């Protein structure tokens, strides 16, 4: 299948409709993370969550366009909505990461993009994340920590400030290198601090650049 045909298939998926699973666990339960989807990898996810967290049934697609850029689309069913996000890696020289992007843009629901800036310090086992996101007329803090026991298991916690957000605790299980499950519990910031359930299943397809060495790069001109 040619590259042009692959693009047609991809956009049919997205517009008919992040979390991802690569060789190691990746992604936290609530917050965006500064590490990017590998180039040419397309992840398809099914997310089921309490309606107080968000759309209870949601399909997600996430594509690594280049070594420093990714896009994502989310299709919710109750209510019917279509959400877009993107991320650009300004610095990808581990252990230091720095990314910008926007999340939760829903033209269908008249919700503006929420821009964010996020930094990470990633070692073999420990991942630290700190950043901020602009939501409506306020800025919210985002914090995260993950511990990778091995390529199969990760424990993770994260937090986003502001009303309507939560603290979370969860695990990521790479059942195979390409199939991943992430269950978590959310504790809402708003009183009476409800405890809510969440789980997402993800399968990743390697569309191109599968065997290309992954180098530490910065964005041209950054």
| Contact predicate 169/157, CB 8 Å | yes
Residue 132 region by backbone torsions, left for phi larger than 0, else alpha for psi between -120 and 50, else beta: beta
* Residues 19-64 pLDDT 10s: 332 233 456 889 989 999 999 999 999 999 998 888 899 999 999 9
- 49 Cβ neighbours under 8 A, 6+ residues apart: 55, 56, 58, 186, 196, 197, 198, 199
Side-chain-side CA neighbours of 38 within 13 Å: the count stands at: 21
CA-closest candidate to residue 133, choices 108, 156, 101: 101
- 191 Cβ neighbours under 8 A, 6+ residues apart: none
Average pLDDT over residues 113-128: 96
CATH classification code of 3-205: 2.40.160.40
CA-closest candidate to residue 20, choices 72, 94, 97: 72
* Residues 135-158 pLDDT 10s: 988 999 999 999 999 999 999 999
- pTM for the structure as a whole: 0.81
């Amino acid at each position: 299948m040619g590259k042009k045909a692959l693009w047609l298939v991809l956009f049919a998926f997205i517009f008919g409709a992040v979390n991802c699973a690569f060789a190691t666990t990746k992604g936290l339960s609530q917050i965006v993370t500064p590490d990017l989807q590998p180039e040419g990898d397309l992840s398809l996810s099914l997310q089921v969550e309490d309606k107080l967290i968000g759309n209870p049934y949601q399909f997600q697609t996430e594509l690594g366009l280049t070594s420093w850029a990714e896009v994502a689309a989310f299709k919710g069913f109750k209510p019917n909505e279509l959400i877009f996000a993107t991320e650009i890696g300004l610095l990808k020289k581990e252990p230091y990461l720095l990314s910008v992007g926007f999340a939760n843009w829903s033209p269908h629901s008249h919700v503006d993009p929420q821009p964010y800036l996020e930094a990470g310090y990633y070692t073999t086992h420990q991942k630290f994340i700190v950043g901020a996101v602009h939501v409506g007329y306020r800025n919210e803090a985002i914090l995260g920590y993950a511990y990778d026991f091995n390529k199969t298991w990760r424990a993770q916690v994260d937090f986003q400030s502001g009303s309507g957000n939560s603290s979370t605790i969860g695990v990521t299980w790479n059942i195979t290198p390409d199939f991943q499950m992430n269950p978590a519990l959310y504790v809402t910031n708003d009183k009476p601090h409800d405890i809510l359930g969440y789980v997402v299943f993800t399968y990743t397809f390697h569309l191109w650049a599968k065997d290309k060495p992954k180098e530490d790069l910065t964005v041209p001109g950054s």
